[in-house]
Amino acid sequence: MSRMTIVGGGISGLAVAHRLAVSHEVTVLEAGDRLGGCLKSTTLGGHVGVGLDLGAEASLVRRPETRELAAELGLDLEFPSPHHSSQVLAAGRLQAIPKRTVMGVPGDPEVVRDLLGDAATARIAAEVLTPALADSDTSVGEFLAARLGDDLVDTLVDPLLSGVYAGRCRDLSLAATVPALLPAVAEGTSVLDLVTALLSARDDQAAASDAAPVFMSLVGGISRLIPALESAITAAGGQIRTNSPVTAVQRRDDGTWTLTTPEGEDTADTVVFATPAPVTAGLLAEAAPGPARRLRAVPYASTALVVALLDLGDGPLTGSGFLVPATADTFIKASTFASNKWPWLAERLPEGTALIRMSVGRFGDAPGTWQELDDTALRDRAFADWQEITGRTGDRIIVSQVQRWDDALPQYLPGHLGAMADLDAEIESIPGLELVGSAYAGVGIPACLARAETVAQRLSRPADHHPTETKETL
């Protein structure tokens, strides 16, 4: 039975531990006093006893990883209300987000006319074909602005991508964030034609099966995955230690690893790092200097989330929330009307109240933009923005909580996937070392689970097995 240590108790680390604990001696070392990483729950001081998310609040339905894990753990899925939709702030007012797009890019320019106006719609229709970039990456924003104009990029594409990555679409890699559009990049062909074909295929798929929601959650929030995984790991014999930061890592001549924690030294045959890239880089600086250098180059964004229970002085709240373009002069970048979006949450709130989430912070924010405000000032600034954008000046906060996520969201800049492939090739030559987490091949829960599953399967193979699959395939 191999001794395997997982450094980091977020969703990626726990997913690996869950798979390995049934057949290996597994220990999870978490530096903080709780598990979950960017999945975190609160009861808002007892006002929402079942709990709600303070971090990521949903997972994609079309990918199987989260659905299958939830079923395995005995958790029932919850889906968003079909009666509410999201909006975007444009021309100083909230407007409906067009549905017939691929990450904001339409196949038919007419679907965005009401949002963007005649001039921007004409610019989209007059798509400018740019040269093929078969062997190189580009940013989403720069590519689409050259093809379809700035208005589409700044008003619609940017806030949609920012809602996922907390980044700016002119910085983010197209290959890593919107790979569906890659054929138009690589071949120099029409984006509009490609999106039309993608939407047609989506329609065919929907017609062939029951239309499924885009997102899923759980009663109490998607963060309920964490205690369920913890229980499964310990039931299988795995050990989980919180408040156990790893301060040093050494690879011995016999190929085993020594990890230093406040409790002493742990020895492992295999170490799986499930920590943010800068943390992993610091720990591997001596044992694996090459990979450490690549990991240090991954930039991160800091954000803050304000969750507030409102007394609805202006009557019922409609819609599921709104997005704000980076070009708008606002403090907040988005808001989710959580109790409208999730029926399970609405059922547990008193009549005349609503639960909202307000997001602050993007990659590239200047120091002091919001980071130096205390929690009260940050909440007040965010809610003042929210009231101005929605026009709901009669609503009042009953209770709130601020959650800061410092350096929590990796930014996939152009060339990211190639750099991560090179990183995986480097660690291929270091037996007993694996890397999982959001820094590599996707920030969403399904992508993190997929990488964790691949790593766990590889580590569970017999020692004499020689698969053709290597870490480059992650």
What pLDDT, on the 0 to 100 scale, is given for residue 467? 39
What pLDDT, on the 0 to 100 scale, is given for residue 214? 87
What pLDDT, on the 0 to 100 scale, is given for residue 86? 94
pTM, rounded to two decimals: 0.93
**How far is it, in rounded angstroms, from Cα 52 to Cα 338?**
9
CATH class of 98-208: mainly alpha
- CATH for 3-39+223-298+413-473 is 3.50.50.60
pLDDT in tens, 289-319: 999 999 999 999 999 999 999 999 999 999 9
What pLDDT, on the 0 to 100 scale, is given for residue 325? 94
Q: Provide the residue ranges of all domains of the chain, joining segments of one domain with +.
A: 3-39+223-298+413-473, 98-208, 301-410
Cβ atoms 5, 266 nearer than 8 A: yes
Tell how strand 433-435 and strand 270-273 pair up: parallel
What pLDDT, on the 0 to 100 scale, is given for residue 75? 97
What pLDDT, on the 0 to 100 scale, is given for residue 208? 66
What pLDDT, on the 0 to 100 scale, is given for residue 472? 39
Q: Which regions in the chain score pLDDT beneath 50?
A: 464-474
What pLDDT, on the 0 to 100 scale, is given for residue 474? 40
CATH topology of domain 301-410: Polyamine Oxidase; Chain A, domain 2 (3.90.660)
DSSP string spanning 80-132?
--TT--EEEEETTEEEEPPSSEETTEESSGGGGHHHH-HHHHHHHHT--PPPP
Strands lying side by side in the sheet with 396-410? 93-96, 86-90, 321-323, 332-336, 353-360, 300-311, 396-410
Find the farthest-apart pair of alpha carbons in the chain and give their distance in angstroms, rounded: 69
What pLDDT, on the 0 to 100 scale, is given for residue 270? 97
